[in-house]
Structure 1
């Protein structure tokens, strides 16, 4: 989308530049980058169409990867369907009551043999899960840990859907998610059972210090982790004392009435 917007903004200046280059008698002697720019301007609409098609296919791929696995669930149950969805997204999970994890790197069909075992921990870091894919976890009422680190499709609407885990979720990692804003963080107030929340390095958070304070007030039993920000340094002791003295009212002389 950004590339398409940039191409539209640069369309007229680039075409004007190409006309100037074409009218010059020194085109053959121009630098390589100038000749490359001239070549691209001659095929400007082809490049724009290519960007449009690339964006469309990318969105289609994300929708396909976040499809609802209802057909699998009808044969093997919702827990196996959720597990299969996670593995297809290159993630990992752990069943309740088991210590071993299932990962896409070490694919094992043994996960099908746990039809009645709910998922307790899910790791979908660096995957393209979005709000549609979250529907595959509606039956996971025992989910305690959910890691969504650096997921490019996780946004505020996604966070608002996490209320389905309000009775079980204890740990949530949404660090480095580029689309999360303070509005989405406010939706986490329903997760009263959270004990650990990682909101490190969220690029769209303008005032991280204030956001952390609000999260700690909103979730008093939760340990909030917020690394990767430049917080304002606390005032020095001398400056703090000076600031306090300036705020204290000066005494008034009873004889002359002067402060």
Structure 2
């Protein structure tokens, strides 16, 4: 287009307007097949996830079954030892060496001859033991040490089952168990024979410092390992982290 001006002719270039709506519509059309595919198969993915969860639960239930026939033939200590070893843990019979499975999960059956020897220590750290599986350990009347470190299925309900071991249990480790809270630790008041307890690294405990204080009061004869007593406690403005507390007056 040409336009007259005082200085002569000036050429003006006309630019066609953009069409963002058509581009947006085209983008939506491009995404539509993918969105339709996700919509159509959403319930299929949910069904697969549900089946996977059910399969995991069945596996955990299978791993926590009791060795009833073995207990009837060899007694509760041998049956309890078999249960722990099958889960990948370790056991120690009185005056004997520790028995552990190898890297392939296999173990010797020589412990069957210890049917008259009590189990005095169990290390089930990292095992899939749950509420039902603990039933295999409760008949161990002379069990002195029990390690349940980083057991994913040990929860507050599990701790409520430990009272049958009150007469013998002296050492207990619950370190790193993600499902244990203050409520479960309160159930340990039955275990007055405990002289050593590890409650460190419990993510479900909201106030580790206060919880440790309460556990120490509940079990006065027990050495409690865990968080520092001040962890999780609210500090006053005069005692913020990094500040040095002023000495108390004489």
Does the aligned pair in 1 maintain the 2:84–2:90 contact within 8 Å?
A: yes
**As a proportion of its length, which structure holds more helix?**
1
Q: 1:33-70: per-residue Cα shift (whole Å, max 9, x none)?
A: x9977754431001000111111111111111111111
Q: Distance in 2 between matches of 1:156 and 1:112?
A: 33
Residue aligned with 1:146, SS:
strand
Q: Does 1:50 pair with 2:51?
A: no
Question: 1:96 aligns to what?
Answer: 94
Equivalent residues of 1:95, 1:120 under 8 A apart? yes
Matches of 1:165 and 1:102 in 2, distance apart?
Answer: 22
Aligned twin of 1:11 = none
The structure with the larger Rg is 2
TM-score w.r.t. structure 1 length?
A: 0.76
Q: How many residues in Structure 1 have an aligned counterpart in Structure 2?
A: 217
**Distance change in 2, residues 1:28/1:119 (3 Å):** farther
1:107-186 alignment, distance < 5 Å: 107-186=107-186
Cα distance in 2, alignment partners of residues 107 and 37 from structure 1 = 53
Unaligned runs of 5+ in 1: 1-22, 245-259
Q: Cα–Cα, structure 1 residues 178 and 73, in superposed 2: closer, same or farther, change >3 Å?
A: same
**Separation in 2, partners of 1:238, 1:145:** 39
When the two chains are superposed, the root-mean-square deviation of aligned CA atoms in Å is 2.7
Structure 2: which 5+ residue stretches go unaligned?
Answer: 1-23
Structure-2-length-normalised TM-score: 0.78
Flag the 1:211–1:38 CA change in 2: closer, same or farther, 3 A.
Answer: farther
